[in-house]
Amino acid sequence: MAKTAILIDGGFYRKRAKFLWGMKTPEKRAQELIAYCHAHLNYEKKYDDRLLYRIFYYDCPPAGKTVYHPLLKRGIDFRHSDTYAWTNAFFLELKKQRKLALRLGELSDANAHYSLSAEKLKQLCANKITINELQEKDFNISFQQKGVDMKIGIDIASLAYKKQVEQIILIAGDSDFVPAAKLARKEGIDFILDPMWANIKDNLFEHIDGLNSQWKKK
């Protein structure tokens, strides 16, 4: 029986899942993620006998520092935010799931900052709005993840070299995985990409063995 590993870029999944299926509690989102992965496995079983090796979920802990907001003219403590509580609760739910490995990187918050959205900045420069018309929601917080892409790449290489699986399904949306995908395919791994219905660059097709997204937007 062929083994399949499912690797998930967590930041990408959470963003796409919210867009496709709306907000959910941490428990419901974790259950959804597991069901989504098993939908992939059931789909593959139509063509071959498949066994889940493990689900690998990659993400970063939520921001827990105070960041100055230029419009409010005060610091925002993210430890008291809904996102902080939700994300920690979500990770706890994932830890309870069978055959799921939680791989956490680091959130580089040393240069964390708020920036004005591109659309509002354009309107401001064109004198269509004034500074007094800006609202808190017009600003986006910027953090940088560290170690997530590296962990994904290392695990793909390890799974391929050790012949632990015959297939890898990667749920992600960018091209950072290409070097690891090339390596896996050279080792005979069937490499499937799931961008969750998001558009991908045409040149990515030459580096994968198939493109397959499961549930569509409800």
- Cα dist from 141 to 45, 67, 72, 78, 177, whole Å: 42, 9, 13, 11, 25
Please say whether the beta carbons of 94 and 102 come within 8 A.
yes
User: What are the extents of the domains in the chain?
Assistant: 2-110+145-211
Looking at CATH, the fold of the domain delimited by 2-110+145-211 is given as Rossmann fold (3.40.50)
3-state secondary structure of 74: strand
Q: Considering the entire predicted model, what is its pTM?
A: 0.87
pLDDT tens string, the chain, 218 residues long: the values are: 899 999 999 999 999 999 999 999 999 999 999 999 999 999 887 778 889 999 999 999 988 788 888 888 888 888 888 889 999 999 999 999 999 999 998 877 667 888 999 998 999 999 999 989 999 889 888 877 777 899 999 999 999 999 999 999 999 988 788 999 999 999 999 999 999 999 988 878 889 999 999 988 76
Helix (H) or strand (E) holding 68: strand 66-69
- Cα dist from 170 to 96, 129, 174, whole Å: 22, 43, 11
How far apart CA 81 and CA 167 sit, in angstroms, is 39
Within 10 angstroms of residue 188's Cβ, the number of other Cβ atoms is: 9
Longest dimension (CA), the chain: 64
Length of the chain: 218
3-state secondary structure of 167: strand
Q: Are strands 74-77 and 66-69 parallel, antiparallel or unpaired?
A: antiparallel
Please say whether the beta carbons of 6 and 56 come within 8 A.
yes
Within 10 angstroms of residue 10's Cβ, the number of other Cβ atoms is: 25
Closest listed residue to residue 192, CA positions, set 18, 11, 50: 50
